[in-house]
């Protein structure tokens, strides 16, 4: 079951929020570090602007690339897990039934009921039921590396913009404290 483009799972939305929070934190901290270093060496606002803006851009693109790589790896691992489980089903015809039942038993369902649930779920779709019970994965509902990358890129740039503006616009005696 695939999601429409407008409907995202909670995991997909949380992934973008997580990427955004990490991006904004990194944007703020790296830009502040560069601004403090540059402002300690010179009072030339143009040089401070160039250094801060350069860091803001490099941080934003670095965060985006890192998020893309990380989430792509997660997505590929999820796909590989499904392939491994399909192979297990091919090798042991009772594997899915035992695994699904075990999942329900661990949640407090009695053994007879757990096996009844497993049998019913397997009749509907064996591999989907297995990976859902074992890993809480849903086939076709993978996290989006582009969404995480874009979220991180924008939030890192916006996060870094605030200390950059503070350093450039505040009076000299407030620059460091305001930044």
Which long-range contacts does 92-99 make (Cβ < 8 Å, 24+ apart)?
Answer: 95/130, 96/122, 96/126, 96/127, 96/129, 96/130, 97/122, 99/130, 99/133, 99/134
Confidence at 6, pLDDT banded by 50, 70, 90: low
pLDDT in tens, 60-74: 999 999 999 999 998
Mean pLDDT of 14-41: 92
Name the residue ranges covered by the structural domains of the chain.
11-178
In the chain, the largest separation of any two C-alpha atoms, in whole Å, equals 76
Q: Could you give the CA distance from residue 144 to residue 82 in angstroms, rounded to a whole number?
A: 17
In eight-state DSSP terms, residue 4 is P
């Amino acid at each position: 079951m695939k999601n429409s483009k407008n409907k995202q799972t909670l995991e997909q939305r949380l992934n973008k929020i997580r990427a955004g929070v990490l991006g904004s934190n990194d944007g703020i901290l790296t830009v502040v570090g560069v601004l403090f270093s540059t402002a300690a060496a010179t009072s030339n606002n143009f040089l401070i602007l160039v250094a801060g803006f350069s860091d803001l851009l490099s941080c934003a693109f670095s965060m985006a690339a890192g998020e893309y790589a990380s989430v792509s790896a997660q997505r590929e691992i999820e796909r590989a897990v499904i392939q491994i489980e399909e192979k297990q089903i091919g090798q042991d015809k009772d594997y899915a039934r035992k695994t699904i039942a075990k999942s329900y038993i661990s949640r407090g369902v009695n053994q007879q009921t757990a096996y009844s649930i497993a049998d019913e779920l397997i009749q509907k779709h064996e591999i989907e039921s297995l990976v859902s019970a074992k890993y809480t994965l849903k086939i076709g509902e993978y996290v989006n590396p582009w969404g995480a990358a874009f979220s991180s890129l924008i939030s890192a740039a916006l996060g870094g913009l605030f200390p950059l503006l503070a350093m450039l616009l505040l009076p000299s005696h407030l620059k460091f404290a305001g930044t």
